[in-house]
Chains A and B, each alone.
Chain A
């Protein structure tokens, strides 16, 4: 059941203590910011993966 993977963005983003810090920074971005921005493509890829699984 690939659909359960859609829970990952909720866990990764709503469990705030795991990313509420400044280090390690990336390209000048504190961790808090690049971590959340990184979730945008990751969440999109997870949704694509679930969608592809439904079609086959």
Chain B
């Protein structure tokens, strides 16, 4: 579909965008530290964010614009199965509560900025540090590209055509991230999150009234899936239950291994800040559950789209007045800026600390680190933009899918290593390689599907490949650690 330009919506959209741009530049002076030219300042906002700033920042950066587009799109297309995002984003918080305060404490004590720093601090072995850093960067790049896809969908819904609006929006983002660092997304997150809350609460209150109540919304979705043949529906088929549960668990374990989420953790003022956020952040999960229902509301509204990712913008434009549709679309676009900024900062921190400092300039000063990281963040963003403009969209989506599997393979080195003393660094690297390459190969051979069917004793078990790869990873790392222990080699 090619919508005409709704001028009211477009003007509201541009005003919101202008507001956050100004905030992005002004953020440089917000809560300014004593030594502004330091990676802790640019890359972690001075390690001082309290409970509320962290709540907005992590909420704004974990629940990305792509989520707002892709989760309802999946629910629209496949029904109950698309809701795995809900158990995933519920059980992720007990995991954060249990594991992240310890990681924060280690990072705070030693001045670590990245997950690879933590691993280097623990094992003092460069090859493992490099593997963790590369994994972080390659898992993040397609994730940034997906934020661009989210913006593209919104720009298209506004009736604008061509690539120029996207390039302009992204260049603005790149420049204020360069100048303000993590303070920019932290400040913009306040605006983004409040906008998204307003939009979703309005949507879940107004849309069902227009469509005849939630009973009617679910009935319409049920009728749609039944007409399609009933392969998917309002509840899971028996064969979907194990994939649903394993996708939720695997995604939850992977979630806080990403550079953008860990950056939010390390930027917190204290371990207590993180514990309180593990209690408060589920408010966003409630929001996500309601956003997912937009997929069913689209069926009740009789919306038919050829590309499921257009579902949310089309629904907003057909059911909201022009000015509110503009506000809602702006909320999604601004929602793309926060995670894209934090992701590029997280990736730039990895490049600076675990490649540049490790191999190019070991004597680099903290202000030199900040300068390298600022340039690296520009490079990362331009790379993601080039991907979107030059390669097919599906490429970024497939890579992001693999990215979840990849980042999950850093879990043993980053987290388990903090608790279990018996792991040896070379063994962890071997485990990582097994999970990373073995898991990628399985996904590739299955035709880029995230789930794989195992046949054990005649019974079929379909499981998220990331979790299978993690199991292989831990098994290999444990066995190799035991062997190295027997050999009595120097302890690493």
Q: How far is the CA of A33 from the CA of B292 in the complex (A)?
A: 11
Q: Are B94 and A9 in contact (CB under 8 A)?
A: yes
Is B234 an interface residue, CB under 8 A from the partner?
A: yes
- Output the least CB separation between B296 and chain A (Å): 9
Residues of B188-241 contacting chain A, CB below 8 A: 213-218, 234-236, 241
In Å, the complex CA distance between A2 and B93 comes to 16
User: What are the residues of chain A within 8 A of B218 when measuring CB–CB?
Assistant: 28-30, 33
Q: How far is the CA of A27 from the CA of B216 in the complex (A)?
A: 11
* Residues of B71-122 whose CB lies within 8 A of A: 80, 83, 86-87, 90-91, 93-94, 97-98
Q: A21-B235, A32-B80 are in contact. Are A16 and B241 (CB under 8 A)?
A: yes
Question: How big is the A interface, by class?
Answer: 20 to 34
CA of A40 to CA of B285 in the docked complex: distance in angstroms? 7
Distance in angstroms between the alpha carbons of A29 and B282 in the assembled complex? 20
Q: Which residues of A contact B425 (CB under 8 A)?
A: none
Select one of A15, A36, A47 contacting B94, CB under 8 A.
A47
User: What is the CB-to-nearest-CB distance from A27 to chain B, in angstroms, rounded to a whole number?
Assistant: 6
Q: Which A residues are in CB contact (< 8 Å) with B87?
A: 13-14, 36, 39
B278 interface residue (CB < 8 Å to A):
yes
Once the chains are docked, how many angstroms separate the CA of A20 from the CA of B93?
23
With a cutoff of 8 Å between Cβ atoms, the chain A residues found around residue B279 in the complex are: 44, 47-48, 51
CA gap between A1 and B293 in the complex, in Å: 37
B residues in contact with A27, CB < 8 Å: 214
- Tell whether, in the assembled complex, residue B217 and residue A20 are in contact, meaning their CB atoms are under 8 Å apart: no
What residues on B are CB-neighbors of A6 within 8 Å?
Answer: 94, 97-98
Does B289 count as interface, using CB distance less than 8 angstroms?
yes
A32 to B98 Cα, complex, angstroms: 28
CA distance A32 to B240 in the complex (A): 14
Complex alpha-carbon distance, A6 and B282, angstroms: 14
Q: Provide the bound-state CA to CA distance between A44 and B277, in Å.
A: 10
Contacting pair B249 A14 (CB below 8 A): yes
**A13 touches which one: B80, B91, B234, B278 (CB < 8 A)?**
B91
Contact A10 B214 (CB under 8 A): no
Residues of B within 8 A of A51 (CB): 97, 275-276, 278-279
CA A48 – CA B286 in complex, angstroms? Answer: 17
**A14-B91, A28-B213, A36-B83 are contacts. A41–B236 as well, Cβ < 8 Å?**
no
Interface of B is mostly: helix
Q: How large is the interface on B (under 10, 10 to 19, 20 to 34, 35 or more residues)?
A: 35 or more
Q: Is the interface of A mostly helix, strand, loop or mixed?
A: helix
Question: How far apart sit A49 and B289, CA to CA, in the bound complex (Å)?
Answer: 24
Q: Which residues of A from 30 to 56 have beta carbons under 8 Å from B?
A: 30, 32-33, 36-37, 39-41, 43-44, 46-48, 50-51
Contact with A along B328-350 (1 / 0, CB 8 A): 00000000000000000000000
A20 touches B241 (CB 8 A): yes
For the complex, give the distance between the alpha carbons of A40 and B276 in Å.
15
- In the complex, are the beta carbons of A29 and B94 less than 8 A apart? no
Contact of B235 among A28, A30, A43 (CB under 8 A): A30
Task: Identify the closest chain A residue to B215 (Cβ).
Answer: A28
Closest chain-B Cβ to A1's Cβ sits at a distance in Å of: 13
Q: Given A21-B235, A37-B289, answer yes or no on A16-B97 (Cβ-Cβ < 8 Å).
A: no
Shortest CB distance B308–A (Å): 20
Q: Given A13-B248, A16-B236, A20-B241 in contact, is the A37-B286 Cβ separation under 8 Å?
A: yes
Q: How far is B215's CA from A22's CA once the two chains are assembled, in angstroms?
A: 12
In the complex, chain A residues whose CB is within 8 Å of the CB of B411? none
Most chain B Cβ neighbours within 10 Å, of A36, A37, A40: A40
Contact with A along B237-274 (1 / 0, CB 8 A): 00001101100110000000000000000000000000
Q: Could you tell me the distance between the alpha carbons of A14 and B452 in the complex, rounded to whole angstroms? A: 18
In contact, A36 and B236 (Cβ under 8 angstroms): no
Give CA–CA (A30, B221) in the complex, Å.
Answer: 12
CB of A33 within 8 A of CB of B83, answer yes
- Determine the distance from Cα of A45 to Cα of B453 in the docked complex, in whole angstroms: 36
Chain B residues lying within 8 Å of A41, measured Cβ to Cβ, are 282, 286
Given A28-B215, A28-B218, A30-B235: A43 and B91 within 8 A (CB)?
yes
State A8–B398 Cα separation when bound (angstroms).
33
Minimal beta-carbon separation of A13 from chain B (angstroms): 4
B80 & A9 in contact (Cβ 8 Å cutoff): no
Interface-centre pick from A15, A39, A43, A50 (highest chain B CB count, 10 A) = A43
Q: Are A22 and B234 in contact (CB under 8 A)?
A: yes
7 contacts between A and B (CB under 8 A): A13-B248, A16-B241, A21-B235, A28-B215, A32-B83, A44-B280, A51-B278
Known contacts A13-B91, A16-B241, A51-B278; 7 additional CB pairs below 8 A are A6-B94, A10-B249, A14-B87, A16-B245, A40-B286, A43-B91, A43-B282
The list of the 4 closest CB pairs from A to B, nearest first, reads A28-B214, A28-B215, A13-B87, A16-B241
